[in-house]
Amino acid sequence: GAGVSQTPSNKVTEKGKYVELRCDPISGHTALYWYRQSLGQGPEFLIYFQGTGAADDSGLPNDRFFAVRPEGSVSTLKIQRTERGDSAVYLCASSRGLTYGYTFGSGTRLTVV
């Protein structure tokens, strides 16, 4: 596609539920990143994929968070047993590689009630 697409744009879920957030990167971008942005703060790194593999998952806050990119394109961020503190905007970005710039999606606003 022309840009990075994230769905849904908004998600409201009850505490304890499971959610999946989807990111469809620009075609041909091998690098894909997930960031989380809380209100009034800059984004924080969660995980980075190079192709199908998670090259760096050190930003995932705990084992409730998991992400996959099985075919090296679309990625899904999965959050189990959601907590109110998980409420944030989840941003996805893709890039052609280490020396290239990033293209960000519009984010998914997750609200856990």
Site residues (vs other proteins, CB under 8 A): 4, 31, 33, 35, 40-45, 48, 50, 55-56, 59, 91, 93, 95, 98-99, 101-107
In whole angstroms, how close is the CB of 6 to other proteins at the nearest point? Answer: 8
96 vs 111: CA distance, rounded Å? 31
Nearer to other proteins, 14 or 99 (CB): 99
**Beta-sheet strands, E only, within 1-113:** 5-7, 10-13, 19-24, 31-37, 44-50, 53-56, 65-68, 75-79, 88-95, 103-104, 108-112
In whole angstroms, how close is the CB of 18 to other proteins at the nearest point? Answer: 25
In whole angstroms, how close is the CB of 59 to other proteins at the nearest point? Answer: 7
Nearer to other proteins, 16 or 51 (CB): 51
103 vs 14: CA distance, rounded Å? 31
Nearer to other proteins, 25 or 43 (CB): 43
